[in-house]
Amino acid sequence: MKVAVSTKLTLWTLIKRNPNSVRDALLVIICLISTLLTCTVFILLPNNSAAAPTPYPIQLTPSEQSWLKAHPTIRLAPDPEFKPIEYFDRRGSYQGVAADNLKLLEQKLGVKFSIVKTRNWDEVLERFKKNEIDLLGAIVATPKRREFMRISEPLFKVPGAIIVRNTVERGLTFAQLKGLRVAVVSNYTAHDVLKNQYPEIQLDVVPTTIAGLSKVSFGMADAYVENLATATHYMQEAAIANVHVAGETPFSYDWGIGIRKDWPELEGILNKGIAAITEDERRAVLNRWLPVSQKWRPGKAFTISAAVLSVSILFGAILVWNRSLQLQVTRRTAALKAEVAERVRAEQEIRTLNAGLEDRVNERTAELEMEIAERQKAQEALVVKQLQLESLNRSLEALVSDTLAELRQRDQSLIQQGRLAAMGEMINNIAHQWRQPLNNIGLIVQSLRICSDAGTLTADEMNQESTTAMGLIMHMSNTIDDFRNFFRVDKDKQELQISKLVKRSLDFLSAALKDHHIKVKLAIETDVTAIGYQNEYGQALLNILANAKDALLERNVPDPHIAIHVRQENERSVVTVRDNGGGIAADILPKIFDPYFTTKEPNKGTGIGLYMSKVIIEQNMGGRLTVQNVDSGVEFRIEL
């Protein structure tokens, strides 16, 4: 016993005399002990990192089996255009991440889902609420959606993304979107979440993902919110290169299956099926549609070993520094006690002084409160009179302002929709214009590489091929400039060279007309001029030409052609556009210039183009735009 006490005292004396050396020795001992413990854990724990996951056995209750027999047909409606989550391909087959997961569920549960096709997501939700559809292929749970549906356990997860133009270099969060114009697709998850949880964000509701990305690309919206998989897919598919991901949403897209509210039995059955899908099966589906690199994750043995090592090091540090801290605490406690005693004495003196001061302050406060009360009564009386006058003024101003705002908003909305439709048509035309130059540039590059590899490339050939390629590139650049200038708003009227405007509009459509074998017959009698807005006149003419092209394609007219005649009549410019598309029905002809009126299939026409042409020619420039059936087609006549 005496030896042990002596050893203890000697060790403590050593620590006090040379604490650094003793501390280093103890740390070395602790590290050795930790290493031994870690090795022991690695040896004792089984290595399950490479073991395949065991599938969860599906055990349906008799009542669940009876329910499935009583409901042999379960109708499922996916979003028809939501790549790569779910969509219909060109052959009408249901594809995507959700589609592959649902096929696994069919195999594991022994059921067959009946796929229902719709026009868009809004129609899917409308029919689902009427119980015309039983399941939704991919849905993210939100409080609003849970009011009218049940949602299964998640099948897979995808992060959300904030998409902005490349001119925005800094990262963004949802807090920084306050006051900005943010595009979201109608009734998608982002629309639901932002509308109900972030009312301070200004929403711009669009019909499709492409529309949202295009608005950000053209600067008509500040940002677009969507899940990362869908956003990046359509960015690549549509070749939208001037946008990027600037941030991540505070919520993730946990995709489950939407289930009718009155079918709780099906929710339990589907959840059992989802639990039976192994991690390998889930990973295989995601890798097919959303390929990602596999990252290392620590195993159980590594985690326990790291924990043992950390605890050992912490325990050793505590042993070394515990005594040192005790000495410091003792010294600091004595100092604090002396400081507290001094503060108690000072506080007693302050309380004595405050006693008299509080009485004087209370008296003065009472006087001030009475004075404030009197002034407040007088001010309230003035405010009441002022509010009455302001109320009368606001009523009159609001009546006039609301009427004007309603009219302006209606006109602006129609004009904006018309410009967007024209821009979409123009982008399609530019794609046709660029196809051939891009092919030629590719051939030039391949030729140069072949000659270079063969050692036959000369300086003259290099200069000639480079000059040809640069000419093609300048042609494509001029196409971009023409597109940009075409949609620039004219401020002042000017003299218009009608023949040049007709030829410029035909240039925009030339590639599309040539691809569809549509002939153009152009007759210009004289150098016709007029006074008006150049770009707006071009937009009106382009709308009429595009309408003629669409009519010829929709009706599959043999030997399609468009005849354009430019002439001067009674000191007015006249341009007629005639096609051989079979004409317009007599009951439809009077409505053709009405806003939102279209005879085209859904998602192929807005009904804005001809209405905007009518507004541009007649209201903005004081001209006249008419239409009539002639021979085997229809003729539009522009007088200015």
Instruction: Please state the rounded mean pLDDT for residues 204-225.
Output: 94
Averaged pLDDT for residues 142-161:
93
Q: pLDDT tier at 146 (50, 70, 90 boundaries)?
A: very high
Main-chain dihedrals φ then ψ at residue 2, nearest 5 degrees: -65, -35
Query: Using CA atoms, how far apart are residues 72 and 632, in angstroms rounded to an integer?
Result: 53
Question: What percent of the chain lies above the pLDDT cut of 90?
Answer: 42
Collapsing DSSP to helix, strand or coil, 77 comes out as strand
DSSP letters of 333-371?
HHHHHHHHHHHHHHHHHHHHHHHHHHHHHHHHHHHHHHH
What is the longest distance spanned by two Cα atoms in the chain?
131
- The pLDDT value recorded for residue 11 is 43
56-60, 423-427, 518-522, 539-543: least confidently modelled range: 423-427
Structure tokens that stand for 200 in this block? 């301070």
Q: What is the mean pLDDT of the chain?
A: 81
Phi, psi of 100 (to 5 degrees): -65, -40
pLDDT at site 15: 46
pLDDT band at 55 (very low <50, low <70, confident <90, very high): very low
Q: For residues 512 and 432, is the Cβ–Cβ distance under 8 A?
A: yes
Q: Which helix (H) or strand (E) holds 132?
A: none
Please give the pLDDT value at position 50. Answer: 34
CA dihedral 419, 422, 424, 427 (to 10 degrees): -120
* Cα 317 from Cα 319, distance rounded (Å): 5
The upper half-sphere exposure of residue 273, i.e. CA atoms within 13 Å in the direction of its Cβ, equals: 22
Backbone φ, ψ for residue 38 (5° rounding): -65, -45
For 554, other C-beta atoms within 10 Å of its C-beta total 14
**What band does 98 get if pLDDT is binned at 50, 70 and 90?**
very high
Q: Are 545 and 509 in contact (CB under 8 A)?
A: yes
The single-letter code of the amino acid at 161 is A
The answer to whether the CB of 158 falls within 8 A of the CB of 82 is no
The CA angle 560-522-576, to the nearest 5 degrees, is: 85
State how far the Cα of 161 lies from the Cα of 231, in Å rounded to an integer: 8
Tell me the pairing of strands 202-206 and 156-165: unpaired
Two tokens at 532?
């008006």
Please report the sign of the dihedral spanned by the C-alpha atoms of residue 563, residue 568, residue 569, residue 575.
positive
Q: Give per-residue burial for 622-634: e unless 16+ CB within 10 Å, then b.
A: ebebebeeeeebb
Distance CA 506, CA 541 (A): 9
Q: What is the DSSP string of 510-576?
A: HHHHHHTT-EEEEEE-S--EEEE-HHHHHHHHHHHHHHHHHHHHHTT-SS-EEEEEEEEETTEEEEE
Strands 81-82 and 86-88: antiparallel
Question: Residue 168 and residue 435: Cα distance in Å, rounded?
Answer: 30
Given a cut of 70, is residue 77 above it in pLDDT?
yes
Task: With cut-offs at 50, 70 and 90, classify the pLDDT of residue 3.
Answer: very low
Distance of CA 548 to the CA centre of its chain: 34
Calpha distance 484→219 (Å, rounded): 13
Sequence ranges of the domains in the chain:
71-289, 490-639
The single-letter code of the amino acid at 392 is L
Q: What is residue 93's three-state secondary structure?
A: coil
More confident residue, 360 or 137: 137
| pLDDT band at 59; cut points 50, 70, 90 | confident
Task: Please report, for residues 115, 442, 463, 465, the alpha-carbon distance to residue 93 in angstroms, rounded to integers and kept in the order given.
Answer: 9, 34, 51, 46
Q: What is the pLDDT of residue 299?
A: 47
Output the pLDDT for position 99: 94
Rounded mean pLDDT, 192-197: 92
Q: Is the pLDDT of residue 364 over 90?
A: no
**For residue 294, what pLDDT band results from cuts at 50, 70 and 90?**
very low
Residue among 154, 274, 271, 249 at smallest CA distance from 192: 249
| 62-71, 409-418, 480-489, 518-527, range with greatest mean pLDDT | 62-71
DSSP 177: G
Nearest to 424 by CA among 211, 175, 118, 114: 211
Global pTM reads: 0.40
Q: 171 with 247: CB under 8 angstroms?
A: yes
Confidence band of 395 (pLDDT split at 50, 70, 90): confident
CA-to-CA distance for 305 and 41, rounded, in angstroms? 7
**Nearest 10 degrees: Cα torsion 509, 511, 517, 518:** 10
For residue 1, pLDDT over 50 is answered with: no
- At residue 417, the pLDDT reads 61
**Identity of the highest mean pLDDT range in 390-394, 400-404, 407-411:** 390-394
Nearest to 26 by CA among 11, 41, 37: 11
Environment class of 621 (CB within 10 Å of its CB; exposed 0-12, middle 13-18, buried 19+)? buried
Q: Over 90: is that where the pLDDT of 136 sits? A: yes
Q: Which residue has the higher pLDDT, 161 or 383?
A: 161
- Alpha helix (H) residue ranges in 455-493: 459-486
Q: Is the peptide bond before 590 cis (omega within 30 degrees of 0)?
A: no
Of the ranges 19-23, 137-141, 222-226, which one carries the lowest mean pLDDT score? 19-23
3 state SS for 269-296: HHHHHHHHCCHHHHHHHHHHHCCCCCCC
Nearest CA-CA partner of 593 in 624, 630, 631: 624
Answer yes or no: are the C-beta atoms of 552 and 518 closer than 8 Å.
yes
Q: What pLDDT was estimated at residue 44?
A: 46
Q: Is the pLDDT of residue 487 over 90?
A: no
Q: Confidence class of residue 509 from pLDDT cuts 50, 70 and 90?
A: confident
CATH number for the domain formed by residue range(s) 490-639: 3.30.565.10
Helix residue spans in 119-278 (DSSP H): 121-129, 143-146, 189-197, 209-217, 228-237, 264-276
pLDDT tens readout for residues 236-283: 988 898 999 999 999 989 999 999 999 999 999 999 999 999 999 999
Task: Indicate whether 2 pLDDT > 70.
Answer: no
Mean pLDDT on 222-236: 93
Spatial distance between the Cα atoms of 509 and 549, rounded to a whole number of angstroms: 9
Q: What is the pLDDT of residue 105?
A: 94
Q: Supply the Cα-derived Rg of the chain in whole angstroms.
A: 38
pLDDT score for 26 = 57
Residue corresponding to tokens 């009718």:
260
Task: Return the pLDDT at 620.
Answer: 87
Considering the four listed CATH numbers 1.10.287.3240, 3.40.30.10, 3.40.190.10, 2.60.40.10, the one that applies to the domain covering 71-289 is 3.40.190.10
Mean pLDDT value across residues 339-357:
80
Alpha-carbon span 90 to 80, nearest angstrom: 11
Element (H, E) at 388: helix 300-454
Summarised one tens digit per residue, pLDDT across range 525-572 is 878 999 998 888 988 898 899 889 888 988 899 999 999 999 999 889
